Chains A and B, each alone.
Chain A
Amino acid sequence: MNIVIDGKECRAEHGEYILDVAERNGIHIPALCHSEALPGQGNCRMCIVEIIDNSRRKIVTSCSYPITKEIEVVTCSEKIKKMRKTIMRLISARAPSSDLIKQLSEEYDLPPETKFKIDKEEKCILCGLCVRACGEVGAHAISTVNRGTIKKVSTPFEETPPECIGCGACAYVCPTGAIEIEEHQGKRTIWNKTFELFKCTGCGDYFMTQEQYEYIKNKKGIAIDGLLCDKCRKKSTGEKLKEALCNVVIKGK
């Protein structure tokens, strides 16, 4: 089906999220808690847009609104801009210490916050992507703890989590850089836990914790042939493919 985004006709599949269709068509919608790997989070509210369906209008989060009929979408009317600015202000009051949030606050021309009590050190916007990532990996080492104004992301009993395999997925998906991860001389420290890193046999870069390797091999039962980082694996697969293709060509002669 076709939908109209900011006056542009766009092709969309049934059930696709508005945000994805917009991106594909070169229309940028601001988003914080959107991750390609973990779609539909819908927590930060930055990606709001207005949809018009049979002259009925409503505001939805484009990252989690599935398209089911031919609608019209407006991504940056004055109304949306105003609402987005308010949302940005709340997020900035919540996580003033994050570099990305600081940068966005400037872009949105936010005045210094006077109305809300703020924690100057805070970087987390509580979008929950990290918790979901950890769950998808299967480690379930972190979760949201408490509720209301003291809600945060943490580990059980605020202790070093035995379940953590040091994969860094939480820090990787975090939009605001709120999860501390440090890599130093073949060691990675995250959630107060330090891990030994394995070197890639291709390029020699450190890339994976010992625990992560064991986890993939034993728990997930996925065979890992050779310790190759993503880049080297792609390269090696590419080379194998090339070889195979050459063989076909030679045989063909």
Chain B
Amino acid sequence: MSSGKTQEIFSYTSSILKEYPREQRFLLAILQDIQKQYNYLPREALTIIHEYLDIPMSKLYSMATFYKALSLKPKGKYVIKVCDGTACHIRGSSLIIDEIQKLLNISPGDTTEDGLFSLETVNCLGSCALAPVMVVNGKYFGKVTPKMVKKIIDEFGGQNSEDI
């Protein structure tokens, strides 16, 4: 990573840390803020948090790998979440996932090489009436059929990036 980027992460993380008392119970909130900013947890940020809160790196790493909302790998610009909870599963969410996998050439948990899309499955989004549901960066799509998937991805520039 370039030193400019490292510098940027350092100052952003420091500014986040200033907003919280120096107590370990704020760890999750801090990590969420960092995740929100970068779409993942840069290692540099973790190092600073580890020093600031005087919390073992092993504990940080344990937490960062425990929560689905946190990620150590950079995520795509657009995060596609497909619900695979009971209702969505019954209504064919696996077909939706297959279709996305085919179109973007990634498996759940992965990010496209151009860094545009990440694919994730989640266990319930609480919108079972709309099953099967997929969400792209917070935008909900209900009653999705495999046919609709391409259009949705195109909406976020998927097709263009494929063509180039």
A162–chain B nearest beta-carbon distance, Å: 8
Query: What is the size, in residues, of chain B's interface with A at 8 Å between Cβ atoms?
Result: 10
B43/A140 in contact, CB under 8 A: no
Does chain B have a CB within 8 A of A161? yes
Chain B residues closer than 8 Å to A161, beta-carbon distance: 57-58
B58/A142 in contact, CB under 8 A: yes
Does chain B have a CB within 8 A of A157? yes
Does chain B have a CB within 8 A of A156? yes
Contact with A along B57-72 (1 / 0, CB 8 A): 1111110011000000
For the complex, give the distance between the alpha carbons of A156 and B43 in Å. Answer: 11
State whether A163 and B56 are in contact (beta carbons under 8 Å apart), knowing that A146-B66, A147-B66, A157-B43 are contacts in the complex: yes
B66/A140 in contact, CB under 8 A: no
Contact with B along A142-161 (1 / 0, CB 8 A): 11111100000001110001
Interface of B, secondary structure class, is helix
B12–chain A nearest beta-carbon distance, Å: 21
Which residue of B43, B56, B65 contacts A145 across the interface (Cβ within 8 Å)? Answer: B65
Chain A residues closer than 8 Å to B66, beta-carbon distance: 146-147
Residue of A nearest to B62 (CB): A143
Residue of A nearest to B63 (CB): A143
Chain A residues closer than 8 Å to B57, beta-carbon distance: 140, 156, 161, 163
Chain A residues closer than 8 Å to B60, beta-carbon distance: 156
Chain B residues closer than 8 Å to A135, beta-carbon distance: 56
B58/A155 in contact, CB under 8 A: yes
**8 Å CB contacts to B: which residues of A125-178?**
131, 134-135, 140-147, 155-157, 161, 163
Chain B residues closer than 8 Å to A156, beta-carbon distance: 57-58, 60-61
For the complex, give the distance between the alpha carbons of A143 and B66 in Å. Answer: 11
Residue of B nearest to A138 (CB): B56
Chain B residues closer than 8 Å to A134, beta-carbon distance: 58
Chain B residues closer than 8 Å to A131, beta-carbon distance: 58
B4–chain A nearest beta-carbon distance, Å: 23
Apart from A143-B59, A144-B62, A146-B66, list 14 A-B contacts with CB within 8 A.
A142-B58, A143-B58, A143-B61, A143-B62, A145-B62, A147-B65, A155-B58, A155-B61, A156-B58, A156-B61, A157-B43, A161-B57, A161-B58, A163-B56
